[in-house]
Chain A
Amino acid sequence: MSPAPQPLPPRPPHSRALPALGLALLALVGASFWSLSLRWADFLGPQALGQMGHFLAGFFPPETSGPFLRKTGWAALETLAMSLIGTGLAAAVGLLLALPASLSGGALATLLHAAARAVLNLLRSVPELVWASLLLVSAGLGPLPGTLALALHTTGVLGRLLAEALENVPPEPAQVLRSRGAGVVPVFLFATLPQVSAQWLAYSLYRWENNIRAAAVLGVVGAGGLGQMLSFHLGLFQMREACTVLLAMIGLVALVDALSAWLRRGA
């Protein structure tokens, strides 16, 4: 005799919003493809594919002559320096802006809080590349606008994260020092800062990993480093040189990722 069948569990509730959302997304995708008038024939036709293969084959072998490798090495160092200085500046200025952004209390504090938040949001919402293209107007071509662009965007990101960290710091150590008569600066340096410094370092390292990627491509608008070399050689259809620069980019990013992971384990 077989055991009585177990009753099936109830059907999961049926959502009506989900199909509607799916249809809306599908319509958006359809409208996107339709309105862009993409040139698939140029890309997927047999002749175009052959051309594409020819184009890609042009990348190999990468250019390995001594002088060119040295030039690529210097550009890679320049990219590394840009990312380090940009992140370092942002870590310092971000901390300075995070102080008012973490204030709360009286009327003046509220005003400063709102102003600092607005500045940080503005800095953060403009991408590095857009900052770089605007800074080119006043700083001219070269690594300086790139470094400053990285610093501006990263200041917004780090400042916001740090303001949140500062708001969540337990206030007791600061109160103890203050009740002992220590001034504002020593209280910050010896009670508040030590509690967020580990987070500060961790966020900065994380942003550094991001910024090395950004620094590598910033040059495309003329802001120095490997990106500038890449867009220069691609513009002249010197594919083998471009391939070397691309390999240097990928290697540099991998190196920084490894270094940052090592520092993080040590910290």
Chain B
Amino acid sequence: MSAALVASAVAARDPALQRRWLALLAAAVVLWPLLVLAEFQPWTLFDARSLRVTGRFLAQFVPPRHDAEFLALLACETWRTVAIATAGMALAGLIALPLALAMTERLSVSAVGGRMARGPAWLRQAVRACTVVLRSVPELVWALVFVRVVGLGPTAGVLAIAIAYGGMLAKVWAEILESADAAPAQALLGHGAGRLQTGLYAALPASAHELASYTVYRWECAIRSSVVLGFVGAGGLGQQLDNAAKLFAGGEVSAILLVFMALVALSDRVSAWIRRGLA
């Protein structure tokens, strides 16, 4: 018997064949109502009318609009996108710092002698719950709400990033502070130093690099998210993109998309460079 014959005989009967088919069938049964629920009818993309609209829209993509007036506007809006992200991150840091210091169990004075006293333990849980609330609402929803309060413009975007990222930074900063070596903090607390002194002289120096590099990474995320926030009226590249797409201005859309991709690639490089410099 040749080797090839053995192989084909083995390949012909897959011992798990029945089980695989049953799994596929079960998946199909679950999938069907989902497809109905999501009104998933991709063929509507290919009916004549929609094809005509799409074709006209895509045909305008080349060449991207590049007259001086539009390019100046793009440069201005790109800076605005970066500025919204940067200002939002700065405020997020201001929000996160006290929350993170309050949450960190390493800095508990009463925990030095053994268990943490009940009051501080409750306070830490309350602060943690507060950051969960800040984090669990997406920044786009915060922006939608703030646009109603302060009106259209960058203020809503800055506030949305400040609040959503403040909650996120507080949680991760506290985790980083907890994961560092406990000995310096315990030594300082044990010799009578206060919480803030211990935080500044033991906890922060030990994990400064990690804290800074995570924050820079988040700044990069904030730039991407500030583009998205423009879609609800918070200004910047996103708002221009939204307007251009609504007007079916293909040339403007492709120009903005190119600038957006360049901005993301650039912030990626800058953030990697800063993080390497910190390490």
**Which A residues lie at the B interface, using CB under 8 A?**
17-18, 21, 28-29, 31-33, 35-36, 38-40, 42-43, 51-52, 55, 77-78, 81-82, 84-85, 88, 125-127, 129-130, 133-134, 136-140, 142-144, 147-148, 177, 180-182, 186, 190, 213, 216-217, 220-221, 224, 230-231, 234, 237, 246, 249-250, 253-254
**Which B residues lie at the A interface, using CB under 8 A?**
3-4, 6-8, 11, 14, 31, 33-35, 37-42, 44-45, 50-51, 53-54, 57, 79-80, 82-84, 86-87, 90, 136-138, 140-141, 144-145, 148-151, 153-155, 158-159, 224, 227-228, 231-232, 238, 241-242, 245, 248, 253, 257, 260-261, 264-265, 274, 277-278
Of the candidates A36, A129, A139, the one whose C-beta lies within 8 Å of that of B231 is: A129
* CB atoms of A43 and B242 under 8 A apart: no
Q: Take A138-B45, A234-B144 as given contacts and tell me if A39 and B155 are in contact as well, using a CB distance cutoff of 8 Å.
A: yes
Contacts of A249 in B (CB 8 A): 137, 141
Q: Take A43-B150, A230-B144, A234-B144 as given contacts and tell me if A134 and B138 are in contact as well, using a CB distance cutoff of 8 Å.
A: no
Q: Can you offer 6 A-B residue contacts whose CB atoms are under 8 A? A: A32-B87, A36-B83, A125-B261, A127-B227, A139-B44, A182-B11
Of the candidates A40, A133, A190, the one whose C-beta lies within 8 Å of that of B241 is: A133
Contacts of A129 in B (CB 8 A): 140, 228, 231
Q: CA of A52 to CA of B232 in the docked complex: distance in angstroms?
A: 19
Q: CA of A29 to CA of B85 in the docked complex: distance in angstroms?
A: 10
Contacts of B145 in A (CB 8 A): 234
Of the candidates A85, A177, A220, A250, the one whose C-beta lies within 8 Å of that of B40 is: A85
Give min CB distance, B103 to chain A, whole Å: 20
* CB atoms of A36 and B158 under 8 A apart: yes
Q: Which 5 A-B pairs have the closest CB atoms?
A: A32-B83, A138-B54, A81-B37, A180-B7, A81-B38
Chain A interface, >50% SS class: helix
Q: CA of A190 to CA of B253 in the docked complex: distance in angstroms?
A: 45
Contacts of A180 in B (CB 8 A): 3-4, 6-7
Contacts of B38 in A (CB 8 A): 78, 81-82, 85, 143-144, 147, 224
Contacts of B153 in A (CB 8 A): 39
Contacts of A82 in B (CB 8 A): 38
Q: Take A133-B231, A138-B53, A147-B40 as given contacts and tell me if A231 and B137 are in contact as well, using a CB distance cutoff of 8 Å.
A: no
Give min CB distance, B34 to chain A, whole Å: 4
* CB atoms of A250 and B137 under 8 A apart: yes
Q: CA of A191 to CA of B193 in the docked complex: distance in angstroms?
A: 61
Q: CA of A139 to CA of B35 in the docked complex: distance in angstroms?
A: 16
Q: Take A36-B83, A138-B50 as given contacts and tell me if A29 and B231 are in contact as well, using a CB distance cutoff of 8 Å.
A: no
Give min CB distance, A254 to chain B, whole Å: 8
* CB atoms of A143 and B39 under 8 A apart: yes
Closest to B138 in A: A217
Q: CA of A169 to CA of B234 in the docked complex: distance in angstroms?
A: 45
Contacts of B245 in A (CB 8 A): 133-134, 136-137
Give min CB distance, B218 to chain A, whole Å: 13
* CB atoms of B242 and A133 under 8 A apart: yes
* CB atoms of A33 and B87 under 8 A apart: yes
Contacts of B6 in A (CB 8 A): 180
Contacts of A220 in B (CB 8 A): 140, 144, 231-232
Closest to A34 in B: B83
Q: CA of A139 to CA of B159 in the docked complex: distance in angstroms?
A: 33
* CB atoms of A130 and B149 under 8 A apart: no
